[in-house]
Amino acid sequence: MQIIDGKKVSANVKESVRLETLELKNNYGITPGLAVVIVGNDPASRVYVNNKKKACEQVGFMSEEYALPEETTQEELLELVKTLNGKDDVNGILVQLPLPKHLDDKAVIEAINPKKDVDAFHAVNVGKIMLGEYDFLPCTPAGVMEMLHQYNITVEGKNCVVIGRSNIVGKPMGMLLLHENGTVTICHSKTKNLAGVCSNADILVAAVGIPKFVTADMVKDGAVVIDVGMDRDENGKLCGDVDFENVKDKCSYITPVPGGVGPMTIATLMKNTIKACKIQNNIN
């Protein structure tokens, strides 16, 4: 069994973005810029936003934070997005989800210029991903693919099972595995015989949001297990969707939580932002 080290892979990705950023500065005098918008006081969102800002510093980006109060109105938020769409030094716009309940996240995402939508959540970018002709890939699924690539794990011809069908993780994850010629099954809360389906997987991706949901009986010997979950166990400790201790010895590869998919999500965000910067400045 080998543990896939998301920290190491993400450090490699960030280092290559840092070098690319230097090149952009030296050759064109351009610094990529990311605007991060956070509304309200959700502690988990605050941690994610801080980590994103820290990653921007590491790779040499300009980052701007817009921290808005909980009572921000839809109009105020849309107005901010409109302003950011028009700012030349902002190449990527990220609105941290979830938004407070009174705000319509769909409308906010649709207001972002698709060329600055570095989360790849806008309908235009989602459509492009379906067609396989994309500029940006959603950060978490793309981060998973990057880990598979860096560990030379091939997808072609493999049985790939994704548990979860969210627009942010499960659905695009299935699509990216399909693009690489995996035979993909996407499971959800209405799936029958989930354990049976999962136990046929060569590559099993868990994106459920339930702590330690994937148990050893659901995993085939030698499977690759990718744990997207960021959950809290009964003691409030961060854990994944996979019962790591009992599953790990059955796997050929497994990602830990923390230190697996999480850091990759942020590294991909950095990749998307520099790509957005290049596209907006007509640089290949």
Q: Which residues are catalytic?
A: 52, 96, 119
Q: Which residues form the interface with ligand NAP (CB under 6 A)?
A: 140, 163-166, 168-170, 187-191, 194, 207-210, 228-231, 261-262, 265
Q: Are 229 and 213 in contact (CB under 8 A)?
A: yes
Give the nearer residue to ligand NAP in terms of CB position, either 60 or 229.
Answer: 229
Q: From the CB of 194, what's the least distance to ligand NAP, in Å?
A: 6
Q: Residue 102 Cβ, how far from ligand NAP at the closest point, in Å?
A: 20
| Cβ proximity to ligand NAP, 30 vs 228, nearer residue | 228
Q: Measured from the CB atom, is 30 or 109 closer to ligand NAP?
A: 109
Report, in Å, the least distance between residue 257 CB and ligand NAP: 8
CB of 280 to ligand NAP, least distance (A): 26
Nearer to ligand NAP, 100 or 209 (CB): 209
